[in-house]
Homo-oligomer: A and B are copies of this chain.
Amino acid sequence: MMPKRAFRTAFRVAWVDTDAAGVVHYSNYFRFFERTEEELYRHLGFTFEGAAQKNLWFPRVEAFCQYKKPARFNDLLEVELTVEELKEKSFKLGFKIFNKESSVLLAAGHVIVVAADKRSGKATQIPGETVKKLKPFCE
């Protein structure tokens, strides 16, 4: 049995990510979540053109984040992604953001993504190949 595992990637906090409190704006953690998801797809060899050709679209239906400690400019963040749920037409991705140098947990959250037909807008089945590739990242 292939062991379940997390996908990890790292980002620097850019100046534009901060706000006048000197910390990363709370909406930007969701952008870090998404960049991590994009890195995972590249890592798995997904071709975004392939999804577009099948008229597939992956909108978010839910987003959640708890903020523990602020991230600041120039911090190196490590983001850990796991697939928390993998259903027929949707999946839930869990994220943890750490300060990579101190290993302190800064934020944790999730997004629920649905597979949708771009023309009808309706939920549709996640392609079998995608399910297969996401499975090893299920907790």
19 A/B residue pairs, CB under 8 Å, sorted by A? A14-B34, A14-B35, A14-B38, A16-B19, A16-B31, A18-B19, A19-B19, A20-B20, A26-B30, A26-B60, A26-B63, A27-B27, A27-B31, A48-B73, A60-B67, A62-B66, A62-B67, A63-B67, A64-B65
Which A85-121 residues have a C-beta within 8 angstroms of B? 109, 111
Q: Is the CB of A15 within 8 A of B23?
A: no
Q: How far is the CA of A79 from the CA of B22 in the complex (A)?
A: 27
Q: Which of B21, B59, B64, B72 contacts A63 (CB 8 A)?
A: B64
The residue among A16, A22, A42, A111 with the most chain B CB atoms within 10 A of its own CB is A16
Copies of this chain per assembly: 4
Q: Is the CB of B74 within 8 A of A38?
A: yes
Interface of A is mostly: mixed
Report the count of interface residues on A (CB-CB < 8 A).
37
Which A1-32 residues have a C-beta within 8 angstroms of B? 12, 14-16, 18-23, 25-28, 30-31
**Residue A127 at the B interface, CB < 8 A?**
no
